Chain A
Amino acid sequence: MTVRVTIPPNLRDLARTPAEISVDVAGEATQRSVLDALEARYPMLKGTIRDHVTQVRRPFVRFFACGEDFSHESPDAPLPASVAAGTEPFLVVGAIAGG
């Protein structure tokens, strides 16, 4: 399936991509499978969204979809069907922090 992923400006600059990227995801669409596909296509994003080793989300990164916050959901939980269907994007967001 093809999943639409939106990444924040700093990571667009790093990966040299537009705001929204389409990635081919094998199997069920979950945070892990979507991010695996994203990092496979753009290896320079490894370590910028999740820790290299633990694969834990970086503290100031959030995952939104369909108006909901999925940041604290299991990385293996299924994402909404509309994300899997490509009608809604999976949003990788830099949290508002600082002044």
Chain B
Amino acid sequence: MSRVRVLVGTRKGAFILTSDGKRQNWDVAGPFFTGWEVYHLKGSPTDPDRIYASQTSGWFGQVIQRSSDGGKTWDTPGGGMTTNPQGMPQGESNKFLYDTSPETGKPLTTHQFYDGTQRPWEFKRVWHLEPSLDDPNTVYAGIEDAALFKSTDGAASWKELSGLRGHGTGPQWQPGAGGMCLHTIILDPKNPGRIYTAISAAGAFRSDDAGATWKPINRGLRSQYIPDPNAEVGHCVHRIAMHPSRPNTLFMQKHWDVLRTDDAGENWHEVSGNLPTDFGFVVDVHAHEPETVYVLPIQSDSHHYVADGKLRVYRSRTGGNEWEALTKGLPQKDCYVNVLRDAMCVDSLDSCGVYFGTTGGQVYVSPDAGDSWTAIVHDFPAVLSVEVQTLA
């Protein structure tokens, strides 16, 4: 019988929740990496026991953890008692150095800061880890300050895909309230060279040559909080989601507005429709229905909690515009939590499961595509990310 493994990153460590296909009874393992912020964990699609985790701290910086047994044990790749050919110990798994090589001509040196001045790029943390679709040792990392890195040795060492920062608009990028982070990485399953990324606050970008060169894909985005609402870059994209069977269709939760594209990002149009508010962070797509989309509206950018004290997921079965509130099992009064951008996911069981985690420490599951919800846990630290693995 199929089962699921839910990987939860929180402000104070990581947890792994497991259940059978009914998704009613759960085992909780952890905390792992206690006391550290775990921005994201994600498993390899080709080797589910290979899981990567981003462990970070304002005091001690960045650590990358790796498991090869489904999260039972972890190590820091390259950080053990191994040596390189010169006999010196390695410790490169947390070393994210921006590309300044002569070959790439120091692609960029500055970006825009909050006060409008130009600042140099400075590594702060890894927001998102995206394992390759076909090689468990290849993984991408989205970092703050915004850049895309790639490892081909199981996260032991990293190299920047500097064409993203170097394509030309980099000096116009600026931090969102949460920092200038590359938080979304989507690999196209039908076109191996195609990668989508999203950056707050710069926008969405696409590469068609495996990350060598990039272009902004923000036509149709309209953001009233920037001087030119229709600018090529500067938009605070919060999340993008794709259904693997239809990779040219993407759904976006922007700072305000929910949008979709059907031409791989060349043109976007708003599908917020009847949502009570179209501010939010998460967006995801049903595993088997490419036109069924989930968002979780947040009252506003100044409140950062759900509207009216009610925790409501909204589902559209029409690819946007027409949304229904999903509330069964969710608190409908006195609830003031947020759901952050990496904290919603879907499994691929026959009855699609939907999951999300809150800043109040709850992780919710719906085993019936959103019709009803239960809390797997109530009292975790603030949840930063939720990913699910569907296991045979």
A interface residues with partner B (beta carbon < 8 Å): 8-11, 13-14, 39-41, 43-49, 52-53, 58, 60-61, 94-95, 97-98
Chain A contacts for B88, CB-based, 8 A: 40
- What mask results when residues 56 to 70 of chain B are scored 1 for a CB within 8 Å of chain A, else 0? 011111110000000
Judged by a CB distance under 8 angstroms, whether B205 is at the interface is no
A46 and B35 contact, CB distance less than 8 A:
no
Which residue of B58, B88, B92 has the most chain A CB atoms within 10 A of its CB atom?
B58
Chain A contacts for B93, CB-based, 8 A: 44
What's the Cα separation between A56 and B312 when bound, in Å? 47
A47 and B62 contact, CB distance less than 8 A:
yes
Number of inter-chain CB pairs below 8 Å: 67
A48 and B80 contact, CB distance less than 8 A:
no
* Min distance, Cβ A72 to any Cβ of chain B, angstroms: 18
Chain B contacts for A39, CB-based, 8 A: 89, 91
A44 and B63 contact, CB distance less than 8 A:
yes
A-B contact list, 24 entries, CB within 8 Å:
A9-B35, A10-B35, A14-B63, A39-B91, A40-B89, A41-B89, A43-B78, A43-B82, A43-B89, A43-B91, A44-B79, A44-B91, A44-B93, A45-B91, A46-B79, A46-B92, A46-B94, A48-B63, A58-B59, A60-B59, A61-B60, A94-B59, A95-B59, A97-B59
* Min distance, Cβ A92 to any Cβ of chain B, angstroms: 10
B97 and A49 contact, CB distance less than 8 A:
no
Q: Which of A9, A13, A61 contacts B33 (CB 8 A)?
A: A13
Contacts A13-B34, A58-B60 given; indicate if A44 touches B95 (C-beta within 8 A): no
Which residue of A8, A10, A94 has the most chain B CB atoms within 10 A of its CB atom?
A10
* Min distance, Cβ A75 to any Cβ of chain B, angstroms: 18
Q: Which of B36, B61, B62, B80 contacts A43 (CB 8 A)?
A: B80
Which residue of B35, B79, B88, B93 has the most chain A CB atoms within 10 A of its CB atom?
B79
Besides A13-B35, A45-B91, 19 other A-B contacts (C-beta < 8 A): A8-B59, A10-B60, A14-B60, A14-B76, A39-B91, A41-B89, A43-B79, A43-B82, A43-B90, A44-B93, A46-B95, A47-B61, A47-B91, A47-B94, A48-B57, A53-B97, A58-B59, A61-B59, A61-B60
What's the Cα separation between A58 and B97 when bound, in Å? 16
* Min distance, Cβ B109 to any Cβ of chain A, angstroms: 16
What's the Cα separation between A10 and B38 when bound, in Å? 13
What's the Cα separation between A11 and B61 when bound, in Å? 11
Interface of B is mostly: loop
Which residue of B59, B62, B63, B76 has the most chain A CB atoms within 10 A of its CB atom?
B59
Judged by a CB distance under 8 angstroms, whether B81 is at the interface is yes
B55, closest chain A residue (CB) = A14
* Min distance, Cβ B306 to any Cβ of chain A, angstroms: 25
Contacts A10-B36, A39-B91 given; indicate if A97 touches B58 (C-beta within 8 A): yes
What's the Cα separation between A48 and B57 when bound, in Å? 9
Chain B contacts for A41, CB-based, 8 A: 89
* Min distance, Cβ B79 to any Cβ of chain A, angstroms: 3
Chain A contacts for B79, CB-based, 8 A: 43-44, 46
B80 and A44 contact, CB distance less than 8 A:
yes
Interface residues of B in 70-104 (CB under 8 A from A): 76, 78-82, 88-95, 97
Contacts A13-B33, A13-B35, A43-B90 given; indicate if A49 touches B60 (C-beta within 8 A): yes
A11 and B97 contact, CB distance less than 8 A:
no
